[in-house]
Amino acid sequence: EESISEWKIMMKEFRRRWPDVKKKRRVEIHINSFSFAEEKRLSMEKFQQRENSQISRIFSVKDPKVDVIYVAPFTLTNEVYEYYKKILELGELEKPENRFHIVVPENYVKFKE
């Protein structure tokens, strides 16, 4: 109960400060997370691919004040990385590889699909 109360206070303060925060340079870290019980996750078809559908969050870099670190649930192929990089380049973002980074948990292979 106490942690929920603290969370609410923190979120209220964040919302209050957001107009100032969004004017400043910042890094957004996007961690894929569907909050499902383990038995549901284990029974879902292609769970990791569904989680990775949140990759579109990298487009936050269209804001020149935002860099993005995207935590993928598994290693993406170079073709996928190049695809998103090309989309950002077509959107007139120079050197998008300097503005978005994809990382994968070191032990991702231990996570069950």
pLDDT tens, position by position, 22-47: 999 999 998 876 566 666 656 666 66
Which residues are CB-contacts of 24 (< 8 A; sequence separation ≥ 6)? 65
Q: How many beta carbons lie within 10 A of that of residue 88, not counting itself?
A: 20
Sheet containing strand 26-31, edge to edge, reads 26-31, 66-71, 100-103
Contact call for residues 9 and 50 (beta carbons, < 8 A): no
Please give the pLDDT value at position 22. Answer: 92
pLDDT tens digits, 48-94: 666 666 788 889 999 999 999 998 877 888 998 999 999 999 998 98
Q: Name the pTM for this structure.
A: 0.74
